[in-house]
Structure formats: C-alpha cells, structure tokens
Amino acid sequence: MNLPNMLDAKVRGKSKVQYLENESFVSKEFQGKKYFIRTYGCQMNVHDSEEIVAVVENLGFTGTSVMEEADLVVLNTCAIRENAHDKVFGYLGRLKHLKREKPELLVAIGGCMPQQSSVVDEILKKHPYVDIVFGTHNINELGRMILESKHKQEIQVYSIEGNVYENVLYHRDSKITAWVNIMYGCDKFCTYCIVPFTRGKQRSRKMSQILNEVRDLKSQGYQEITLLGQNVNAYGKDLEEEISFATLLKEVSKIGIPRVRFVTSHPWDFTDEMIDVIAKCDNVMPYIHLPLQSGSSRILKLMGRRYTKSEYLELYRKMKEQIPGVAITTDIIVGFPGETEEDFQDTLDVVKSCEYDGAFTFIFSPREGTPASKMKDDTPSGVKEERLHRLNEMVNSYSNQKNQEYVGKVVSVLIQGVSEKDPNKVYGYTETMKLVNVVAAKDSIGKIIPVLITEAKSFSLDGEMKELVAI
C-alpha cells in the first residue's frame, strides 16, 4: 500500500527525471468480463482514460456503456473544484448498492482525487468496498493491481515528483483526432490550484519521442492532433538540452497532419516566436485557449500568475494582430479570496476589451493544501454567484456575437461523426474550434470539407456542405 502525501507532492527536487519504458501487462484472466469507465475533468484525464482502457483491455475485458453490466468499474477523477469531488462521492453511493448485489464487482478509483490524502482517508473510512485506488503516477501499475485486487484491497498512490514513461499504449477513442502528451505535471503553483500537487513536477517528453508518436498517428490517417500539457508554453525548459515549444510546434507541423492544436497555454510563457509559428504554419490552427483567471492585477498577484492586466492585454493584442482570424477562449475565476467589486470590474473590463470567442467561468473553490485555501475570504457566496451571473451574461453575449459573424461564410470543417442533435446531420469543428452541425453525407466523416454557415446559435453553428467551393 502506498498512500498519498501532500507535502511530498510539493517537493520540486533537482533529481533527474527518469525516462522509462512502459511495460504492458497482458493476461487472459478477465476474458469475457466487461468494464465500465467514467472520466471526470480535463483533456489530460480524458487521454489518461485512453491509457486505462488499453490496460484493462490487455487483461481481456471488453467495454460496456451500461454500468450495471460491468464486472469492473473505473472512475477516473478530477480534483480541481469541490463539485467534481462531490460528484464522484455521489457516484460511489450508487456503486455501493451495485456491489451489494454483485459482490464480485471490482471498483477502481484513480486520477487526481486519490492524490489527496483526505480523499484516500474518506475512501478507507466510508467506502471500504472500493477494491483499487490508483494515482496519476500509477496507471502503468493498474494491470497488476487489478489482478491482485482479487485477493486484497490495492492502494497505490505515489506522491513522487514523477517519471516519464515512453511507449505507453493507448486505446484512442477516435480514429480522426488524437491527443498527444508533450509534458506532464506543472511547476507554476498558482495559489488556487491543486494540479502541481496531483500531477507532480513538470516533466517534458523528449522531442524525438513526441515526433515519433506524431509520425505514427499520421501514418494511421489521423486528421488532427492536440498537443497536451498543463502549460505547453513551458515545454522543454526542464530538458537537459533546453528546447522551446515554438521549435517543437514547428517540427510537429512539418510532419504534415492537416490540423495541429495545443492546450493549455499560460500567458506568462507565451513567446513572440510561438505567435510567429502559429501565424506562419498553415496546419497549426488559429485557436488559442489563454486563461485570464482575473482581470485585476492585484488579484493576479495574489494568484501567483506572474502577469498584470496590461501585460495580458498586450499579449492578446499581439496575437490578434499577428495571427489571421485567431479565435481566443479563456478561463476566469470569480470570488478569489479578497476580490472586491472593483477587482471584479477589472475582469469585466478585460472581457469587454478581448471579446472572447468563449470562456469557462468558475467560482473559486478552496483546495486543501493550496495557499489560497488559507487566505481570508469574506465575500458572501451570494455575491460570488451574482458576479458569476453578470460575467456569464457578458461572456455569452460576446460568444454569440462571434458566432453570428460566421453566418453566410464558407469555412473548412473537420467532420467527426453523426450529430447528437439530429441523426440526419454530421458534426465537426472549424479551424477556430467552433462546433458545427452540418447537412452532409455520412461519408464526409473523417474529412475536412467546405461548409456554408447558415445559422448561429449560442454554443454552435449550423451549416451545409458546399461542393466545389474554394476556401
């Protein structure tokens, strides 16, 4: 048993990151058995689930979308806000009943939540029927843990700074778009954020390994890849031979996958060279997610964000000027400890200047062990909710406005599947990451096609395929 420790998780030692080969654990032990997986949180977690699926399928399990049919249930969890935590414990309640009816059911909890010692304590005390608890550094051990959990409860959560595993097997959900990890962990320690604790220190993968993976995806016919990291702009700063994200992006672009994207960027590390690469490489998509968090320089300082309101606006202006047609989205937190109405007005002011294509907005959620959770916070929750409401009204009106600008234009859309809203339509994304429901034949799935936008809604566009249109 290895239990998490938040103090160990905070350590950023000088020890070298170990680059290790992933060993796949293959067994026929669970042939004929079914697994059900539920994923919470960010793209990083979604991609981790693709690794988890490869691990359990290597043991003989096949997938089911009906939890009650499963012999193994895996919850891959997120710790970023309290509500994510509440949802998982709510779900565990359902599993408790299921386990009573079906005692041989295996229940596994992994991902970011078990990296917090309080969560593992709660599982041990209130949910002792959970068979397997694994952390973000332990996915490569999951195969062995599942086999051994038949005999005893398995808990493996390392709070180490982290290693890098190569040759990881993924069962990718899509044959059209793929995630590619370029780095793990985060060293930024924004004062509100749990991620540097749950995911360890920043570890970049070697460029040669990333390029090999991208070449392999190209040969499999992938149309789009997204380079993944908590803070992609800091890529390479921790490598022995330092290399910049701009260089990596340029090299990835040369491999020639039609669309290349990346998430997430931190404004502090965003260089002019990066802007230049995005502007010049045709297959690097003109879409940037650039978290603001707050528009108040005073709050940004308390958040440890390392930029001011005016520096953010300056970077934003450069991106808009230099990258033709770029769409920019953001993340904003309201109600950070001590945020005044004046601070909040600064946030609204930045939203007004930037006219974002979209924004994810959150009320500050104190996370145990982070500096902000200990800061004095006397803003009543009603005031925070009211600020969130005002912010959302503004954000939605700009994203609606941006969507309206597409009506009557022909844009290229990578078609990804049958539309959820209408089985007679297909859906896909524009270069700028707008969701479009399209009237087009099903054989357009997997292709980039020209689409005339006919209608704009708040969160999506409608369109029809245009034959023979030059775009």
Please give the residue ranges that form the binding site for ligand SF4 (CB under 6 A). Answer: 41-42, 44-45, 78-80, 111-112, 194-195, 198-199
> Using the rule CB under 6 A, is 148 a contact of ligand 5AD?
no
Query: Based on CB atoms, which residue is closest to ligand SF4, 82 or 455?
Result: 82
Please select the residue that binds ligand 5AD; options are 143, 291, 295, 463, rule is CB under 6 A.
Answer: 291
Q: Would you count residue 365 as binding ligand 5AD (CB under 6 A)? A: yes
d(CA 420, CA 422): 6
Binding residues for ligand 5AD, total number by CB under 6 A: 12
DSSP 235: T
The DSSP secondary structure of 92-128, one letter per residue, reads: HHHHHHHHHH-TT-EEEEEESGGGSHHHHHHHHHH-T
CA distance 284 to 433: 12
The CB density around residue 282, as the number of other CB atoms within 10 Å, is 11
Nearer residue to ligand 5AD within complex by CB, 367 or 402: 367
Q: Which does 426 bind (CB under 5 to 8 A by kind): ligand 5AD, ligand SF4, none?
A: none
Structure tokens at 248: 């990596």
Q: Which does 79 bind (CB under 5 to 8 A by kind): ligand 5AD, ligand SF4, none?
A: ligand SF4
| Residue closer to ligand SF4 (CB basis): 44 or 145 | 44
What is the signed CA dihedral for 170, 172, 176, 181, rounded to 10 degrees?
-50
Angstrom CA distances, 139 to 16, 121, 391, stand at: 21, 20, 38
Residue 367 binds: one of ligand 5AD, ligand SF4, none (C-beta under 5 to 8 A by kind): ligand 5AD
Q: Which does 364 bind (CB under 5 to 8 A by kind): ligand SF4, ligand 5AD, none?
A: ligand 5AD
Question: Which residue, 200 or 286, has its beta carbon nearer to ligand SF4?
Answer: 200
What span, in angstroms and rounded, lies between the C-alpha atoms of 297 and 207? 35
Q: Using the rule CB under 6 A, is 329 a contact of ligand 5AD?
A: no
Contacts of 252 (CB under 8 A, 6+ apart): 210, 211, 214, 225, 227, 260
Using rule CB under 6 A, residue 362 touches ligand 5AD = yes
Min dist. Cβ of residue 198 to ligand SF4 (A): 5
CA distance 174 to 417: 10
Find the shortest distance in angstroms from Cβ 388 to ligand 5AD: 11
Tokens representing 359 are: 């924004």
- Closest residue to ligand 5AD, based on beta-carbon distance: 331
Q: Which residues bind ligand 5AD (CB under 6 A)?
A: 80-81, 192-193, 291, 293, 331, 333, 362, 364-365, 367
